Structures are given as structure tokens and as C-alpha cells.
């Protein structure tokens, strides 16, 4: 990802430093506290590394906040206009599961679109990092979806929240044997906006013999939060190779997954040979609309909480239902190593 923006004490931000990273349409803001009184310190002490804010661009912040308030949402920030020499942005924020928030951003006001690096208070910033010869210009094109983990019995409440407050629709549901292994289980529902560009799967644990990945997350994150972020790529082979070179660790998948004749028959022809997927431990799934390729990193921080998914879609609108068992068994192996299964 490319460093494009910065906010810190040098520019009047006495609370924290923030770096804006960009790849395609993705914007990540990575923050670290500067002030000993920064709320970021308490948040990190409680949760560890994690996703604090899932921001959404909207055409009219005032209407969105008014609708959210009328629908019973907790408003964390009333709409306000912030400006600098590059123009103005109107922002507001509402609460979602746990201590996660949605900041709503309106970048066009009275026909004028904000032209700065990110938001007022940020300045343009580039990095001295030099890419290797032959490295692709970008690895990721978009943020495909963000998965949230909530407590047992709370999933339907948050599905209803997104239906009621944001007007999202129910896109998919996974329960029972589709989303269970011999030892653990969970339940999942997916909500999305009208054109399905914004997708939020929501998971809750289910009662089983042993602790599920959702139970482990809730324990170590000390509550609900964003479990993983799925990054869309046009070339998953190249992306995985590049990330592996840079030291990123991915979940392992047994060779038996790729050698299963039933799986090969169900998947049919895909753009890359199965042997190339096997070499990189990339999962593949097909539905009535097409197929997808996906792989998952190991947890990124010291706690077994947040991780990334890399996904390449070819028509498929799904989430790799056919891979759930293989994926969850892989996660269980990692849980067992940590003594958390």
C-alpha cells in the first residue's frame, strides 16, 4: 500500500499520529497515541490492535444521521463541517457493535468535492520505501467486505440494526453443518447495501464441544469487534507471492483438500491450475454465479484477533461456503497451538 497522508503534532494534532495508506479504492488510517491522555491508549490496552472505525462515504451526512437517530442508533458525533485550504468535508458518526464506530463522510458540499490528501487535518505524505524491481504497482483494488464478531444471541440484533438504521438487506445466511466442524461451530449472516458494494458478514458463536474461533476472538479482544478485512485483488497468485516475500504468514491447508476428486469436479475449470493454488494454499469455491479464490492470513498482532483475507472473484457473489470446513479446521489447528481450542 502507498503512504499518501499524515496527521500529527507537527500539524496541530496533539493527541496522536495517523498515517493514511492507499491501494486502489482502499484507505487505511493507522493511528498511534502521542498524548498520555489519548483515548487510543485505553482502547489498545483493552482490545490490542484492532479496527476502531469503519468509515463510509455518503452523499448527505445530515440526512443519514437524522435517519439513524430516528431508527434508534447511538450518535457519537453530530454532523459538523471541517475545512482547510483544499475544501470542506462534513462528517458525523454512529456506534455499532462493541466499541466500533461508523464515521460517515460527505466529501462533496454544494457541488465542491474536497481535494486534499484525505480529510482536513491531514497533509500529503509519501514514503521513502522503494519497491523491488518487478513488483506490481498495487496488490489490492478494493475492500471486499468486513466481518464482525458479536456475542452469542446478539447476531440477529445487529442484523436488525443494519436493516433498520442503514437500510441494508440480508444477503446470505450460514448455519448448521455448513459452518461447523467436529469440535466447534458458529452462525453467520451477511448484510449489504443495495448494490452489494458494502458487505458486512456478522458472526456469533454456537454451542459446541470446544471453543470456536469466535469465542477466542471475543475473549482476547474483550468484546465484539471486526474480525477480518477482505481485500479484493485481480491476481491472487502474484499478491500471495509478494506478501509471502514480505513475511506475511497465511493459514495452511492440507494437500488432501486439493486432491479431493469431488472438490475438483465441483470447481471445474478456473483461471489457474489447481497445482498452483495448492502450492500457495489458496482456497477455491464455485457457486451458481461463478467462482472465487481466497486465502487468509494468520492473526496480525500479538493477540489472536484481527486478520486479513485476500479474495479474487470471478462472478461469484458468495463468501466461500464450500471452503468453510477446511478454513475452520485450519483455524482450529492454530487455536490448538495457542492452547485456546
Q: Which residues are annotated as a binding site for Fe cation?
A: 145, 228, 309
Name residues whose C-beta falls within 8 Å of residue 236's C-beta, 6 or more positions apart in sequence.
Answer: 282, 293, 294, 295, 310, 311, 312
What are the cell numbers at 318? 458468495
Q: Name the nearest CA neighbour of 101 among 55, 139, 158, 133.
A: 55
Q: Name the nearest CA neighbour of 188 among 197, 87, 196, 199.
A: 199
**Binding site, residues?**
145, 228, 309
CB 237 within 8 A of CB 228: no
- The CA-based angle 313-319-322, given to 5 degrees, is 105
Give the CB-side neighbour count of residue 253, counting CA atoms within 13 A: 25
CB 332 within 8 A of CB 341: yes
- Bridge pairing between strands 101-106 and 56-57: parallel
Torsion of CA 230, 56, 147, 258, to 10 degrees: -20
Binning the chain into helix, strand and coil, the percentages to the nearest 5 are 25, 35, 40
Amino acid at each position: 500500500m502507498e503512504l499518501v497522508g499524515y496527521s500529527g503534532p507537527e500539524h496541530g494534532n496533539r493527541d496522536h499520529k495517523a498515517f493514511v495508506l492507499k491501494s486502489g479504492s482502499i484507505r487505511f488510517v493507522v493511528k498511534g497515541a502521542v498524548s498520555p491522555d489519548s483515548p487510543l491508549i485505553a482502547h489498545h490496552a483493552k482490545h490490542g490492535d484492532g479496527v476502531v472505525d469503519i468509515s463510509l462515504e455518503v452523499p448527505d451526512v445530515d440526512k443519514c444521521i437524522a435517519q439513524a437517530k430516528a431508527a434508534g442508533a447511538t450518535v457519537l458525533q453530530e454532523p459538523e463541517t471541517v475545512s482547510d485550504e483544499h475544501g470542506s468535508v462534513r462528517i458525523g458518526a454512529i456506534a455499532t457493535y462493541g466499541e466500533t464506530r461508523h464515521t460517515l463522510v460527505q466529501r462533496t458540499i454544494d457541488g465542491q468535492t474536497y481535494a486534499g490528501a484525505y480529510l482536513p487535518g491531514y497533509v500529503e505524505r509519501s514514503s521513502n520505501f522503494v519497491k523491488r524491481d518487478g513488483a506490481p504497482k498495487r496488490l489490492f483494488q478494493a475492500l471486499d467486505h468486513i466481518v464482525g464478531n458479536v456475542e452469542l444471541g446478539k447476531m440477529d440484533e445487529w442484523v436488525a440494526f443494519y436493516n433498520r438504521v442503514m437500510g441494508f438487506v440480508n444477503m446470505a445466511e450460514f448455519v448448521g453443518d455448513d459452518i461447523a466442524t467436529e469440535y466447534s461451530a458458529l452462525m453467520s449472516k451477511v448484510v449489504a447495501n443495495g448494490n452489494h458494494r458494502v458487505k458486512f458478514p456478522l458472526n456469533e458463536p454456537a454451542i459446541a464441544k470446544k471453543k470456536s474461533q469466535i469465542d477466542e476472538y471475543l475473549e482476547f479482544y474483550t468484546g465484539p469487534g471486526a474480525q477480518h478485512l477482505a481485500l479484493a485483488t485481480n491476481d491472487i497468485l502474484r499478491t500471495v507471492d509478494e506478501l509471502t516475500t514480505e513475511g506475511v504468514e497465511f493459514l495452511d491447508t492440507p494437500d488432501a483438500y486439493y486432491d479431493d476428486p469431488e472438490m475438483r469436479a465441483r470447481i471445474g475449470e478456473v483461471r489457474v491450475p489447481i497445482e498452483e493454488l495448492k502450492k500457495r494454499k489458496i482456497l477455491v469455491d464455485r457457486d451458481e454465479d461463478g467462482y472465487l479464490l481466497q486465502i487468509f492470513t494468520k492473526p496480525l498482532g500479538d493477540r489472536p484477533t484481527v486478520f486479513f483475507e485476500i479474495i479474487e472473484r470471478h462472478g461469484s457473489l458468495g463468501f466461500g461456503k464450500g471452503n468453510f470446513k477446511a478454513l475452520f479446521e485450519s483455524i482450529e489447528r492454530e487455536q490448538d497451538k495457542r492452547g485456546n481450542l
